[in-house]
Amino acid sequence: MTKRMRAHKVEDPSVMNLVDTMHASQVPHPNVMRVLRSVAGGVENLHLTERDVQNRRAAHVREERMDDIPKLLAFFRECKANNPQFFYEFQLDDKNVVKNVFWSHASQQGDYGDYSSVVTFDTTYRTNQYSMPLAMFVGFNNKLQNVVFGQALLRDERADTFEWLVKQFRACMGGKDPIVIFTDQDSSIEKAINLVFEKMYHRYCRWHVTNKFRNELNQLNTQHPGLSETLTSVINHPLRPIEFEQAWAAMLDKYEVHESKVLMKLYDERNMWVGAYFKEIFYGTMTSTQRSESVNSTVNHGYCDNSTAIHEFAKSFLELLAHNKEKEAEEEFNSQAPIIASTFYGYDNQLSRVYTRAVYKVFVSRLKSSTAFRVRPDPDKAGYYLVKHTRPPTDFPWLCHEFWVKAVVNEEIPEESEFNCECMRIEHTGIFCPHLLCVLTNLQVAHIPSRYIPKRYTRNAREATPFDRHDKVYVGPIKCKELLRQALQVVDQIPHDLGPPNAALGVAHDLDPPAAASGVPAGQNHVVSASPPPISSTKGSRTKGVEGVDLPAPHFKRPQGKNRKCCCKRCNKSGHNITTCGREAPPPKRPRGRPVGSGTRKRKGSYESDDTQDDLASEMEDDETE
């Protein structure tokens, strides 16, 4: 019992530092106590109770929530001092309170310069204590790993807010637009993107489009077995818009679902999410925002929650970027080893030395699939070949199983050779399709022209940047700088002939770089208020939007207050539940308490009304009669 007494509590600094580290790392409380018991050699040797640890965590949370915005500004200035390329910008409301904030580290800007061709944009929630949605621009690198180009915390999800965000992102990246950007079907996001980006293709996320009608599609599949598999094939396999429309019509005829409103809505927006309508656009390996969803899951489950302060979230996000860089470095190290080619073909040996390990694995899988095709040269056109599958599909007769491939090989100048396929997968993904690989194998091609190998898939995908890509200073104390300071002290003691000390030498006393300015442009003399931002209302919340703007109604709204009635699940009537359904209603309960306005009389230290005495007397008479 002594460890519960205040005078006997012992707080070892090393143990307290360990506790604080585990709390900062989002370690659950039971795991914290398990570690402490293990370190102490048993619970009997631990001089802390569970309440002490919980109180310390609560005190740490209260301390972190104080002065949130000033701490965020201090952290941003520290990042700016470590690397002047760090970019951040605030948008303030009429009271100078932070409304939106966007930031991007130097490493993220360097990644965007290398892999900006395909970008996904999405928002996630429950990442901070103000319920501010987190918006991220995400892509993938040459190792097919997720990379984040920039992030922002927003107060609302209106069109003008997204427009401000996209403008800041474009300014941060030097005005460079992506080739294609994938988003969900949010009209505010679509409006902002079309206003800011000039040369860019905007497409919908395939998963969001189909998930929007998930319940209706499940109901259709229940009524028409096999519809789900057919719909998936119609979406993924057609080569051209004409073929897609024919396959769609065949599906409607087969299952007799011409009047389905869900399928009508999907068909009306087909050019925004069906791959057959943008085969000529390079999108890499992405057709949806699944990479953004993956990053969202990582952020929510490992680095923050709905009680995290904004400045703590910004620090945790920098840790996430450092963790991703470690994974990238590991894959980079593993890719340095020579990859053994899967075959002895000349082009296979070439690509095994050029591609990264992750991309080469995708190539090998397609090379294996190419063995399922046969090649027949066209007798009328030189350089054209008909590639046919050995076992054509029978479930979907409209599915294309014959592909025309053009292969013009120049043995004297291999770089002038020309290859393309009817499926356009090499233009769409940047990696050779099985049909084209089948022809290359048949012709025994030894060299692939460099224009068919996107640089973003190679080991040398990184471009030289005029700035340092490192987000932190990774060097220790510089001994040379300290020696120079000592030398300057000695020089100052030497009498000088003319001018101020060290003027002739042209040596500056301040050897440290000057502190970086804030991210607010010089033309904006705004003073950021230290007041925390208000709680944000997102698209899924049940409250009214900020500034009097009503947000879209949630998909499900539970009745609240007096209008809420609990009904029986068996008969759908109120007043009872499924357990008491069918029984007689219980007698009404006698109201508790004395009637209002009843007289009282003191009797042996108690207060009883005259009516109560009469009732007691009548009850005694009834008892005697019985």
Stretch among 182-191, 307-316, 489-498 having the lowest mean pLDDT: 489-498
Q: At residue 20, does pLDDT exceed 80?
A: yes
pLDDT of residue 50: 85
In the chain, % of residues over pLDDT 70: 78
For residue 288, what pLDDT is reported?
Answer: 66
pLDDT digits (tens, 9 = 90+) for 375-397: 999 988 899 999 998 887 666 66
pLDDT confidence of residue 457: 94
What's the sign of the alpha-carbon dihedral 61, 63, 64, 65? positive
Total Cβ atoms within 10 A of residue 113: 17
What's the CA gap between 570 and 577, in Å, rounded?
8
Which tops the pLDDT comparison, 292 or 165? 165
Give the residue-averaged pLDDT of 620-624.
Answer: 45
More confident residue, 586 or 237: 237
86 vs 48, more confident: 86
pLDDT at 394: 62
pLDDT for res 224: 92
Evaluate whether 73 touches 530 at the Cβ level (below 8 Å).
no
pLDDT value for 476: 55
The CB density around residue 10, as the number of other CB atoms within 10 Å, is 9
Residue percentage of the chain with pLDDT more than 90: 42
- Sign for the pseudo-dihedral over CA of 32, 34, 39, 43: positive
Backbone angles phi, psi at 201, to 5 degrees: -100, 130
Mean pLDDT of the chain: 80
The pLDDT score that the predictor gives to residue 395 is 65
**Contact criterion met (CB below 8 Å) for 122 and 184:** yes
| Amino acid 620: pLDDT | 43
pLDDT value at position 45?
Answer: 81
Looking at residues 435-460, what average pLDDT do you find?
A: 93
**What residue ranges in 356-422 does DSSP mark as E strands?**
373-377, 384-389, 402-408, 418-421
Q: Tens of pLDDT along 157-207?
A: 999 999 999 999 999 999 999 999 999 888 999 999 999 998 889 999 888
Residue 618's pLDDT is 45
Higher pLDDT, 107 or 238: 107
d(CA 418, CA 290): 34
Least-confidence region, from 4-13, 55-64, 559-568: 559-568
Give CA–CA dist 120/294, Å, rounded: 12
Tally Cβ neighbours within 10 Å of residue 484. Answer: 14
CA 384 – CA 396 distance, rounded (Å): 26
Burial class (CB in 10 A: 0-12, 13-18, 19+), 508: exposed
Residue 56 pLDDT grade (very low, low, confident, very high; cuts 50, 70, 90):
confident
Confidence of residue 558 (pLDDT cuts 50, 70, 90): very low
**How would residue 519 be classed by pLDDT, with cut points 50, 70 and 90?**
very low
CB neighbours of 296 closer than 8 A, spacing ≥ 6?
A: 122, 124, 134, 136
Tell which residue, 170, 164, 167, 138, has the closest CA to residue 151.
138
Give the pLDDT of residue 557: 43
Least confident range of 73-87, 213-227, 562-576, 580-594: 580-594
Residues ≥6 apart with Cβ < 8 Å to 552: 539
User: Residues 6 or more apart from 26 whose CB is under 8 A from it?
Assistant: 302, 303, 304, 305
Q: How distant, in Å, are the alpha carbons of 249, 282, 593 from that of 278?
A: 20, 9, 76
Averaged pLDDT for residues 481-489: 77
The Cβ-side half-sphere exposure at 529, using a 13 Å CA radius, reads 14
Q: Higher confidence at residue 481 or residue 413? A: 413
Q: Which range, 234-238, 422-426, 588-592, has the best average confidence (pLDDT)?
A: 422-426
Both structure tokens of 251: 């599906």
Which residue matches tokens 């621009």?
137
> Does residue 192 contact residue 163 with C-beta atoms inside 8 Å?
yes
Residue 399's pLDDT is what?
67
Q: Check residue 611 and give its pLDDT.
A: 43
Least confident of 136-145, 351-360, 595-604: 595-604
Task: Report the distance separating Cα 129 and Cα 179, nearest Å.
Answer: 35
26-30, 83-87, 318-322, 578-582: lowest mean pLDDT where? 578-582
Confidence of residue 595 (pLDDT cuts 50, 70, 90): low
Decide if pLDDT at 546 tops 60. Answer: no
Lowest-confidence region among 84-88, 335-339, 353-357, 444-448: 335-339
| Total-model pTM | 0.74
Mean pLDDT, residues 300-311 taken together: 79
Could you list the beta-strand ranges (E) of 482-623: 601-603, 606-608
Least-confidence region, from 17-26, 191-200, 581-590: 581-590
Q: Which two tokens stand for residue 335?
A: 């890719």
Q: Minimum mean pLDDT among 99-113, 301-315, 343-357: which range?
A: 301-315
pLDDT at 624: 46
Q: Tell me, what's the pLDDT at 542?
A: 46
Q: How confident is the model at residue 436 (pLDDT cuts 50, 70, 90)?
A: very high
pLDDT attached to residue 195:
92
